[in-house]
Amino acid sequence: MAETPESQAALSTSSSTPADKDGSKICILLNATGNVPIIKKRTWTVDPNKTVSWIQKFIHKFLKLDASEQIFLYVNQTFAPAPDQIIKNLYECHGTNGKLVLYYCKNQAWG
Amino acid sequence: MGDLSWKDFLSQAKQFLEISQKLDDNWVLEQKDSSEPNIYLKCSQKIKCQSGKNNAVELFSVEYHVVYSVSYQVPMLFFQAHRSDGSLLDVEATWKLFMPESKASDLHQILTQMDHPVLFRPFMALHPCRTADVLKQFGKPSGNQVLSFISLYGPHVQLHLQNAYGLSQEYT
């Protein structure tokens, strides 16, 4: 899957970017569940101050989903963090082995 | 999967309550009697919001109920918001407070006034028709669907759970 220009600007590959620039960033692992399309590149590094809703929007844009569909993010098979939660806090609570494992699925939320 | 039985709802609600107590949160289990669906989770909080003509910060007291829906076989979120003078927010005011960005035509499918299944009073409620679908998308079945439900739908109406709710290993 080719990366879109905006995704390159926003998220960067953990392997290809220099470590010094990347030191403060948080490594997240994205897992698809349910009927959502898979993103081939699973590991991303993210600015710790980005919010959960920012990641939701990113995946939504990346997969070019319909506006009526919504991306849901959750951790530990059970818990969906609040959209305004920042990744730093989430990592401090749920990070394992230097990574934050996030699951995502999509569905229509209403109607 | 996705929908859950009354028995499951009850045991998961009790589990949720235990986690909440460990985290010093203020959820309680309300019980009218032991028959279906007369037991529900309740919590209340104060929220601050800018509203009114001169953008003054107003304080609202909101009470949330997580009630089992017999027709949809999923948890449902009911709530009621009061102003600091004790007056109740009507549907329009609730929309304005909680979902200022949504269009009125959409809101009829999201948030309306419904009969509370236990108290038989009108309450604001989030529509349950997609809840089972959404819960079903959680890959492996979620260990505690009541917790998943509250964490998914709560933020739409300013009900945020601490991150630590996701930590408990008991459900896996």
What pLDDT, on a 0 to 100 scale, did the predictor assign at position A22? 56
- The question of whether B129 is a catalytic residue gets the answer yes
Chain B contacts to A (CB-CB under 8 A): 106, 109-110, 127, 129-130, 133-134, 136-140, 142-144, 147-148, 151-152, 154-155, 160-161, 163-167, 171-172
Contact between B72 and B81 (Cβ < 8 Å): no
What pLDDT, on a 0 to 100 scale, did the predictor assign at position B103? 85
What pLDDT, on a 0 to 100 scale, did the predictor assign at position B106? 86
Read off the pLDDT band of A89 (50, 70, 90): very high
pLDDT tens for A26-76 read 999 999 988 899 999 999 999 999 999 999 999 999 999 998 899 999 998
Contact between B118 and B37 (Cβ < 8 Å): yes
Domain coverage including residue A55: 25-105
What pLDDT, on a 0 to 100 scale, did the predictor assign at position B172? 44
From residue B15, give the alpha-carbon distance in Å to each of A79, A81, B6, B41, B143. Answer: 14, 19, 14, 11, 10
Residue A94 lies in a domain: yes
pLDDT tens for B159-170 read 999 999 988 765
Contact between A78 and A6 (Cβ < 8 Å): no
Give pTM, 2 decimals: 0.87
What pLDDT, on a 0 to 100 scale, did the predictor assign at position B169? 61
Spans of all domains in chain B: 6-166
Q: CATH number of the domain that A99 lies in? A: 3.10.20.90
Residue A7 lies in a domain: no
Tokens standing for A71? 């991306």
**Domain B6-166 grouped into CATH 3.30.1460.50:** yes
What pLDDT, on a 0 to 100 scale, did the predictor assign at position B51? 67
Mean pLDDT along residues B144-170: 89
Residue A10 lies in a domain: no
The nearest alpha carbon in chain A to B141 belongs to A77
Contact between B143 and B165 (Cβ < 8 Å): no
Count structural domains, chain A: 1
Contact between B117 and B123 (Cβ < 8 Å): no
Cα separation, B89 vs B91, whole angstroms: 7
